[in-house]
């Protein structure tokens, strides 16, 4: 192999390795955000309640998963979320997962969510759905680490 081909091969290898390290670093991050919308837990619920899921939330991306907790500051309700993260472009990843509400009988699976993470702008945006009654709302946030 000629010297110029070896140099090109080494340069390409370095670029690929640096890209892989940068992408890996992006996928280890903490996000904080707010949400909008309200919903009700599935029937039967021991008392009528309206919750504002994702009103405020904090989550981590680690090893291809996004997980964390949300809190409804108005009513004191809270729950968790967890999903799988897939990279869809060099700067954008998509997470699809499920979210729960901690009700009087423990964690109740409420529905699904999806969030697009933009590592270039350090922002995220998505939506949550309640599979019990088709309510939905928005998810918005920023990278904090």
pLDDT digit string, tens, across residues 104-116: 778 899 999 999 9
Give the domain CATH number at 67.
Answer: 2.40.128
Domain of 114 in residue numbering reads as 29-143
Average pLDDT, the chain: 84
In a domain, 14, yes or no: no
In a domain, 94, yes or no: yes
Q: If you count DSSP H runs as helices and E runs as strands, how many of each does the chain have, helices first? A: 1, 8
pLDDT digit string, tens, across residues 132-144: 999 999 999 999 9
């Amino acid at each position: 192999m000629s010297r110029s081909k070896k140099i090109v091969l080494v340069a390409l290898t370095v670029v690929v390795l640096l890209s892989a390290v940068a992408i890996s670093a992006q996928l280890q991050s903490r996000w904080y955000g707010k949400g909008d919308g309200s919903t009700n837990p599935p029937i039967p619920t021991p008392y009528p309640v309206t919750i504002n899921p994702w009103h405020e939330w904090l989550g981590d991306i680690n090893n291809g998963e996004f997980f964390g907790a949300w809190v409804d500051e108005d009513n004191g309700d809270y729950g968790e979320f967890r999903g799988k993260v897939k990279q869809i472009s060099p700067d954008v990843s998509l997470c699809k997962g499920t979210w729960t509400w901690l009700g009087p009988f423990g964690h109740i699976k409420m529905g699904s969510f999806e969030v697009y993470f933009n590592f270039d702008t350090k922002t995220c945006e998505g939506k949550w759905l309640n599979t019990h009654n088709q309510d939905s709302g928005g998810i918005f946030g920023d990278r904090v680490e």
